[in-house]
């Protein structure tokens, strides 16, 4: 992956970590509504990342199987 891809992965990880810390902070401050909104907002990117991960895993598995058969 190129330089831009590495920066984008790092940015996504950084935002995820900051969001988790913010959720924990809101729960500690008993601001449960805001924490719930953060959790719901994180569901969209997490589901997109999980979908891409599973798709890439399946493609790699199929590629490996086709190389082994040849």
> Are the CB atoms for 23 and 38 separated by under 8 Å?
yes
The Cα 17–Cα 35 span in angstroms is 14
* Residue 55 pLDDT: 84
Using the structure block, give the residue that is written with the tokens 């493609």: 59
What are the domain boundaries of the chain?
A: 3-69
* Residue 24 pLDDT: 93
Instruction: Provide the residue count of the chain.
Output: 70
pLDDT tops 80 at residue 66: no
Instruction: Say what the pTM is.
Output: 0.63
pLDDT tops 80 at residue 67: no
> Are the CB atoms for 40 and 23 separated by under 8 Å?
no
pLDDT tops 90 at residue 6: no
| pLDDT tens profile 13-65 | 888 889 889 999 999 999 999 999 988 988 888 888 888 888 888 777 777 77
Phi and psi angles of residue 57, each rounded to the nearest 5 degrees, phi first? -65, -45
């Amino acid at each position: 992956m190129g330089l831009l891809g590495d920066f984008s992965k790092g940015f996504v990880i950084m935002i995820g970590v900051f969001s988790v810390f913010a959720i924990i902070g809101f729960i500690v401050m008993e601001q449960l509504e805001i924490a719930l909104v953060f959790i719901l907002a994180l569901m969209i990117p997490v589901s997109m990342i999980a979908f891409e991960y599973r798709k890439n895993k399946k493609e790699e598995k199929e590629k490996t199987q086709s190389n082994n058969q040849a």
